[in-house]
Structures are given as structure tokens and as C-alpha cells.
Structure 1
Amino acid sequence: MEVYNAMRHFADSWGLLAMALFFIGAIFFTLRPGSKKIADEAANIPLKDE
């Protein structure tokens, strides 16, 4: 039971902080300047003829 409480405390505090930072980083990575060109190129990969 002691391990469960320790893991629950960790998930409630540091785990939540880590998930929030990851979410903010993912949003920033997606909306950063210059990402539109890269996303458009990736979206057109299936449509390219070899």
C-alpha cells in the first residue's frame, strides 16, 4: 500500500506537471514559425509520383 500511495502522489504532482509541459511543448512545436512549409511537404508525400 505504501508504494501505491507514493506512486499516486508522484502522478498527482510531478506527473501532471510533466504532462502539462509536454502538451505546451507539442503546441509550440506545431505552431512554430516555418512549420507550415514542412507540414505541407509532409502532407503531399502520398501524392508524389515517382
Structure 2
Amino acid sequence: MEVYTAMRHFADSWGLLAMALFFVGSVLFVLRPGAKRSAQDAASIPLKED
């Protein structure tokens, strides 16, 4: 039972911070300059002929 309490305390504090930082980083990665070109290139891969 002691391990559960420790893991829950970790998830409530540092786990939440880690998830929030990951979310902010993901949003910034998608909105960075040059992302539109990369996304368009990736989206056109299935339409390219062999």
C-alpha cells in the first residue's frame, strides 16, 4: 500500500507537470515556422505514384 501512495503523490505533482510540459511542447512543435510545409509534404505521400 505504501508504493501506491508514493506513486499517486508522484503522479499528482511531477506527473502532471511532465504532461503539461509535453502538451505545451507538442503545440509549439506543431505551430513552429516551417511546419506547414512539412505537414503538406507528409500529407501528399499517399498520393505520389510509385
TM-score by length of 1: 0.97
1:47 to partner: Cα distance: 0.2
Structure 2 residue runs without a partner (length 5+): none
Q: Could you list the runs of 5+ residues in structure 1 that have no partner in the other structure? A: none
Task: Please report the TM-score for the alignment, with normalisation by the length of structure 2.
Answer: 0.97
1:12-33: CA deviation from partner (whole Å, max 9, x where unpaired) = 0000000000000000000100
The residue number in structure 2 matching 1:35 is: 35
Q: Percent identity?
A: 72
> What amino acid sits opposite 2:17 in the alignment?
L
| Aligned Cα root-mean-square deviation (Å) | 0.5
Runs of 4+ in 1 over 3 A off after TM superposition: none
Q: How many correspondences in the alignment?
A: 50
